[in-house]
Amino acid sequence: MTLLEAITRAREQGELSALIEKIPYALFLGLGAELREGRVVGTMRFSPMLIGNPTLPALHGGAIGALLEWTAIFDLLYRAETLRIPKTINITVEYLRSGRPLDTFARAEITKQGRQVASVRAIAWQTDPARPIAAANLHFLLQGLSPADAPLGAVPPHG
């Protein structure tokens, strides 16, 4: 299955696993995504290699940032009119609480989607979405707005 087919299948059938398998970094980090009540929820399964502070212990800030970016990209792919992985222009992560050695979840909200750029807000939590451990604002460059514009040979930079 090509990436394009995996994206199409994710959108049409809500079947996300084929898309996740295309992304080695997701397997490395233990990232996943599921649909809950029609919304994408990004997941990061706890594993000891995610620890950034062994004393507390707490999750590595980079891993939390990666989950937020991952969830925002997934939400855009699922929701927006794009069949190519959006290019991340920038991400600003606020770290609100230390991430405990637990599974972590995230969801994203498209603040604004223009023709070329989308603004997304994402939050990550562990046991209670009302007590987020981190939040991020992200900007994405959208490419390939229609399937015809989405040749698969093109390189999504950070997807």
Partner 1 sequence: MGLDPREPDGEAREMLARINETFARGIPHNRAMGLQILSISSAECRGRLPYKPELVGNAESGVLHGGAITALIDAVSGGAVFAAMRRTTRVATLDLRIDYLKPASPERDVICEASCYKLTRSVAFTRAIAHHGDASDLIASSAGTFMVMSDPRSGVAEAP
Q: Where do contacts with partner 1 occur on this chain (CB under 8 A)?
A: 2-3, 22-25, 27-29, 48-55, 58-63, 65-67, 69-70, 85, 87-95, 98, 152, 155-159
DSSP 99: P
Residue (of 154, 76, 158) closest to 116 by Cα position: 76
Residue 62 beta carbon to partner 1: minimum distance, rounded to whole angstroms: 2
Give the three-state DSSP class for 37.
coil
Residue (of 22, 8, 106) closest to 66 by Cα position: 106
**What is the gyration radius of the CA atoms in the chain, in angstroms?**
15
Residue 150 beta carbon to partner 1: minimum distance, rounded to whole angstroms: 13
Contacts of 61 (CB under 8 A, 6+ apart): 52, 93, 95, 134
> For partner 1, which is the closer residue by CB, 38 or 74?
74
Residue 38 beta carbon to partner 1: minimum distance, rounded to whole angstroms: 25
91: which 2 tokens?
């991400």
Residue 33 beta carbon to partner 1: minimum distance, rounded to whole angstroms: 14
> For partner 1, which is the closer residue by CB, 125 or 139?
139
> For partner 1, which is the closer residue by CB, 37 or 64?
64
> For partner 1, which is the closer residue by CB, 37 or 67?
67
